[in-house]
Amino acid sequence: MSDNSHDQAHEDHTGPVKTPKQMLLLSFASFVIPVFIIIGLVYYVTSANKTAPGSDTERTVAQRIQKVGMVEIRDANRPAKAGEEVYKAQCSACHAIGAAGAPKFGDVAAWAPRIKTGYEALVNSALKGKNAMGAQGGGDYSDLEIGRAVAYLTSGSGGKFKEPEAPAPAAEKK
């Protein structure tokens, strides 16, 4: 009886692998299957969103190698624009309709607290930007032209700021 119980205990402690052939197949599968899974995942991740050859590569290369800065040459002798002209060209895009919280042209209630801060503060805000408005409202104007636009914009809303005059040209040295 002891021999018979020993065989039963031996059978209970054996695993699913009974032969060397099964052991070899199990070892091979435990290494090969994860490798194929990893290869499949790598292929899946790298295959998404590839651009076709020649499709807009020139534009993307140009963006990557664009210059950090640039030099712009302006005509220093051109006459400064009037405030109304600058307002219509640059400021009216937001101030005519009140976009992004901009006070509308002619809205006395919205402009009153701003006008109380003074002309210099308004010009400073216009030049440096404030809240959603970028510097110079995103424009390309001189400080004098921005000052004129501020005077024009506030005059339509109860302000009494005088439009700045262009500085007199310096006398030539002899």
**pLDDT tens for each residue of 109-164:** 887 888 888 888 888 888 877 777 777 755 677 777 788 888 888 887 777 777 77
Radius of gyration, alpha carbons of the chain: 38
Parse the chain into domains and list their residue ranges: 17-45, 83-155
What stretches of the chain show up as alpha helix (H) in DSSP? 2-12, 20-47, 57-64, 83-86, 92-95, 108-116, 119-128, 143-155
Quickly tell me which residue has 């050859």 as its tokens.
53
Q: Has residue 75 got a pLDDT over 60?
A: yes
- CATH domain 83-155 topology: Cytochrome Bc1 Complex; Chain D, domain 2 (1.10.760)
Determine the average pLDDT of the residues in 66-88.
75
Q: Has residue 3 got a pLDDT over 60?
A: no
Which is more confident, 76 or 111? 111
pTM for the model stands at 0.52
